[in-house]
């Protein structure tokens, strides 16, 4: 029990102290505060590197377990092949330009990622076809704004009217921006209260679910 309690209390205390220190150092330009900030940031990067090990280990373990159970075998085998081959190439020949690792990166990984990214264009088309319906007056206004924006962001907008880009920019700079600012303020306040709850220890989900 004492161990469990310490297990919760210690991270909570560390979180509180570092939360407070990082908050305070923001307002200081004293060399001590600057050095402290720099040191904490260095450690932050080091800790992050260790967290990757957790990901690598569980990815490998999960896939091997699933393959042995026969679930999604082809996909998992391809995943594991990439998982093993890329670090091997990096270890043997390094990761600078013109190495096998970079060849794989440029000719396998990058095109595959671009392909998935490109799906977005197709999904925008299908979502627009299905979703943009003038069901009500606000929906019709939204639809009209979207069409204006689409026209203005292509170089054919100018053919219809010289003023089209100006109208689109106005929509972007005023009604759209006002709505986004309101949402951003709400998000900012939500972030602030959540962060404070974490720092003072009443929000403990990040410790694994103890409310």
Partner 1 sequence: MSTAVLIFCTVSYHLILISVAGYSGWFNPDTVATLVASLISIAIVLFTTFYKRGGAAFKVREIAGLRAVEDAIGRATEMARPVLYTPGWGGDIQRPTTIASMNILSHIAEKTADYDCRLVYPTHDPVIMAVAQEVVKESYARVGFPDRYRAEDVAYVSSSQFGYAAAVDGLITRLQPASIFLLGTFEAESLILAETGNSINAIQIAGTDSTIQLSFFIVACDYTLIGEEVFAASGYLSGDKSILASVKAQDIMKVLIALFVVVAVIWSTIEAISNVPLSEWWVF
Partner 2 sequence: MKRLEARHWTFLGLFVVVTITMLLNIKLEMKVSPYTQDMYTYIESLPEGSVLIISFDHEASSLPEIRPIALAVLRHAFKKGHKLIGVSLLAEGTLIGYRLMRQTADELDLEYGRDYAYLGFRPQYIAAILAMGESIQQTYPRDYLGAPYEQFELLNTVENYNDVAAVISIADGSLTTHWIEYGQARYGVKVLGAVTAAMVTTYDPYLASGQMYAMMGGLRGAAEYEKLIERDGGGARGMLAQSSAHLYVILLVVLGNIVYFVSRKQGGGS
Residue ranges in 141-180 that form contacts with partner 1 under rule CB under 8 A: 180
Do the Cβ atoms of 198 and 16 come closer than 8 Å? Answer: no
- Looking at the Cβ atoms of 165 and 201, the one nearer to partner 1 is 201
Q: Whole-angstrom Cα distance, residue 109 to residue 116? A: 11
- Looking at the Cβ atoms of 160 and 173, the one nearer to partner 1 is 173
DSSP string, 175-195: HHHHHHHHHHHHHHHHHHHHH
Q: Which residues of 96-115 are buried (b: 16+ CB within 10 A; e: fewer)?
A: eeeebbbebbeeeeeeeeee
Strand, coil or helix: what is 127?
Answer: helix
Contact call for residue 54 and partner 2 (CB under 8 A): no
For tokens 């700079």, the residue is 173
Can you tell me which of 14, 28, 61, 158 binds partner 2, judged by CB under 8 A? 158
Residue ranges in 94-133 that form contacts with partner 2 under rule CB under 8 A: 96-97, 102, 105-106, 109-110, 113-114, 116-117, 121-122, 124-126, 128-130, 132-133
3-state secondary structure 38-83: HHHHHHHHHHHHHHHHHHHHHHHHHHHHHHHHCCCHHHHHHHHHHH
Residue ranges in 116-135 that form contacts with partner 1 under rule CB under 8 A: 116-117, 119-120, 123-124, 126-128, 130-132
Do the Cβ atoms of 108 and 118 come closer than 8 Å? Answer: no
For tokens 């009443």, the residue is 202
Per partner kind, with CB cut-offs from 5 to 8 A, the member of partner 1, partner 2, none near residue 208 is: partner 1
Contact call for residue 186 and partner 1 (CB under 8 A): yes
Q: List residues near partner 2 by CB under 8 A.
A: 26, 34, 37-38, 41-42, 44-45, 48-49, 96-97, 102, 105-106, 109-110, 113-114, 116-117, 121-122, 124-126, 128-130, 132-135, 143, 146-147, 150-151, 153-156, 158, 165, 169, 172-173, 176-177, 180-181, 184
Q: List residues near partner 1 by CB under 8 A.
A: 16, 20, 23-24, 26-30, 33, 51-56, 58-59, 62, 65-66, 72, 75, 109, 112-113, 116-117, 119-120, 123-124, 126-128, 130-132, 180, 183-187, 189-198, 200-203, 205-211
């Amino acid at each position: 029990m004492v161990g469990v309690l310490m297990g919760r209390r210690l991270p909570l205390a560390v979180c509180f102290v570092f939360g407070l220190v990082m908050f305070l150092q923001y307002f200081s330009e004293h060399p001590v505060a600057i050095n402290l900030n720099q040191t904490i940031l260095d450690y932050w990067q080091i800790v992050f590197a260790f967290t990757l090990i957790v990901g690598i280990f569980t990815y490998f373990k999960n896939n091997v377990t699933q393959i042995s159970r026969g679930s999604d075998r082809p996909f998992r085998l391809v995943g594991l092949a990439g998982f093993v081959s890329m670090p091997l190439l990096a270890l043997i020949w390094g990761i600078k330009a013109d190495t096998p690792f970079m060849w794989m990166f440029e000719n396998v990984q990058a095109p595959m990622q671009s392909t998935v990214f490109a799906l977005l264009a197709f999904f925008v088309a299908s979502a627009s076809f299905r979703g943009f319906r003038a069901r009500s007056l606000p929906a019709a206004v939204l639809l009209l704004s979207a069409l204006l924006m689409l026209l203005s962001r292509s170089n054919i907008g100018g053919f219809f009217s010289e003023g089209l880009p100006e109208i689109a920019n106005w929509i972007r700079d005023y009604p759209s921006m006002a709505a986004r600012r309101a949402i951003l303020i709400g998000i900012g306040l939500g972030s602030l209260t959540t962060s404070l709850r974490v720092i003072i220890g009443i929000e403990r989900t990040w410790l694994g679910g103890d409310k």
